Amino acid sequence: MEGQGAAADPQLQQFIEVESQKQRFQQLVHQMTEVCWEKCMDKPSPKLDSRTESCFVNCVERFIDTSQFILNRLEQTQRSRGSFSETMSD
């Protein structure tokens, strides 16, 4: 019986992690849409002009670049903290 509970636990943890990633992705998309809409959309119209389209493309690319930079920075910080705490525990 105990073996089944232990086997289900990693699956549950993986499911929770995947769902959390989906939620973070949805939040990023929503945030990106809001930021770029406010920055690029002067007045609503049925068609995007080339300037507005170009603005959206640039905005999305900068948003992705910035998000990736922040993620990389957080990973570096976590790695350096991990090695620091391992050194402290020795």
Q: Euclidean distance between the first and final Cα of the chain, in Å?
A: 37
Computed over its alpha carbons, how large is the radius of gyration of the chain?
21
Phi, psi of 45 (to 5 degrees): -150, 160
For residue 2, the model assigns a pLDDT of: 47
Residue 49 above 60 pLDDT? yes
Is residue 63 predicted with pLDDT exceeding 80?
A: yes
Percent of the chain residues past pLDDT 90, beyond the cut: 37
Per-residue pLDDT for 88 more than 70? no
Please write the tens of the pLDDT for every residue from 71-85: 889 888 888 877 655
Q: State the burial class of residue 73 (Cβ atoms within 10 Å of its Cβ: 0-12, 13-18, 19+).
A: exposed
Which domains are assigned to the chain? 5-89 (1.10.287.810)
Q: What is the mean pLDDT of the chain?
A: 83
